[in-house]
Each structure stands twice: as structure tokens, then as C-alpha cells.
Amino acid sequence: MLARRIIPCLDVKDRAVVKGVRFRAHERVGDAVALAETYRDAGADELVFYDITASAERRTLDYGWVREIAHALDIPFCVAGGIRSVEAAVKCLENGADKVSINSPALERPDLIDEIAAVAGSQCVVAGVDSLHVNNDWFVYQYTGSEAATQESGRRTLDWIKEAQERGAGEIVLNCMDQDGVRAGYDIGQLRAARDLLTIPLIASGGAGTMAHFRDVFEGADVSGALAASVFHKNVFTIPDLKERLDQWGVSVRR
């Protein structure tokens, strides 16, 4: 069995890490590079950095900031934020990122997934999907880093993740917006439905509040990794303690 990945998520705004609840009311929780180093030393398997306002502000992320993160880390990391071209994706990779995640720009122009995969390889392309439960179904939202700009994309979540896979995405991060920041557990039903459609790795995002929530999502939705933010930022529990407990529960993790 492949080891399951524990992935701290760092939402970045003006080079500071912030955290909200259901993508709203963000508060500052620390410096991006300092937190990245802390999670590296704690045994995180990889890190994800989202420049949360880049897409809504119609800009790309700061390549110098990507380079700073790369200099500080010796574990894989993924970056996201306003990556609207192959050139922007390649610059992120050239400055040290291992993967790029595209969300709103891919919804604007789905061919972007194909284009980046053709140049950089599917292993470098992550499709980030922000999903909300509406009228007994799940729908994709975009520009979610800005409360004023957030809007429904008009796409069903399960349709979109399947299309993203077909276009060449090598991994899906499914952000379940209803669960984000509330620490009530991952949306197992939605993640299980997504897992059943995919052959590529699926990463769960949104809802971690206890160690048992990680066990539940690995066992109940068979995801490859679990992404979390507030439980790590606020030191609810540590990554070493989480991995030890998961190991005791029979979940394969890197120690």
C-alpha cells in the first residue's frame, strides 16, 4: 500500500499565511517561509501554497516568493495563484516548485490543463477544485480567494474533475467548501464519489479537526493525501503525533 500523504496548506495573502472559515473572514497566522520550515521539520510529506487573491486580482503569483520557498525546503511543494499560461507555469517550476495547481484559470480556459501537461508533464499539473453543495449536487466555484469575486462556475464538480483528468491533470485537490475551517471532518461522501471517477491521485481538503478525521478520510474515501490548515497552524496537534496515531490505526504513512 502506498503511504498516505499529510499536506499542510498555506493560504498566502501579501506574503503572509492566512486562514478563514468557509473561504471567508481570513486572519493572519504567520510568515509563509517560517511556517514552511516548521512543517518541513515536523515531517510534512509536502506543502501547498495558494496565493489566494491572484486569480481574482487578474495577476500571477510572485516568482521571487516561489524561489524563497524553494531555497527553504527539501520536500516537494505545489504553488497556485493566477497561473494562466504555460509560460507562467514553467516559471514557477523553474524557480523551484515541484507542481503547479490551476483552478480558476482552468475554468476560464480548460485547454490550459492540456497545454501545461504537454510541456511539463502531467505529474506537475494539479487541478484545484473548490466545490460547494447546492440543491443536492456539488458545483465548482471560482475566484474563491476574494469574497466579493467568488462565483459559481456553472460546472458540476464530478463532471469537471473527470474532464480535468482527461485533459492531463496528474492530481486533483478537492476543496470541500462547506467543510472548510469548521473542523467537523472531511466530506467523505463527496470525496468517495470523486474517487470512484478517478484513476489519478485525489487529495482531500476541508474539514480536518481531529486525528480521527484523517483516518476516516483515508479509510472511507481512499484518498492519496489529506490537506489541512488550521489544525496545524493553531497547533491543535502535531504532524509527528498524527503520523504516530495513524500508524497505530493501520494507516500507512511515512515516518
Q: Is 11 a known active-site residue?
A: yes
- Residues 152, 141 contacting (CB under 8 angstroms): yes
Instruction: Decide if 130 is catalytic.
Output: yes
Using DSSP's 3-state secondary structure scheme, residue 226 falls into strand
Catalytic residue among 11, 180, 187, 216: 11
Residues 6+ apart with CB under 8 A from 187: 176, 178, 179, 206, 207
Grid coordinates of 86:
504555460
- Alpha-carbon gap, residue 164 to 156, rounded angstroms: 12
Indicate which residue of 45, 51, 130, 216 is catalytic.
130
> Cell 521539520 belongs to which residue?
41
CA angle 34, 70, 16 (to 5 degrees): 40
8: β partners: 228
The residues assigned a catalytic role are 11, 130
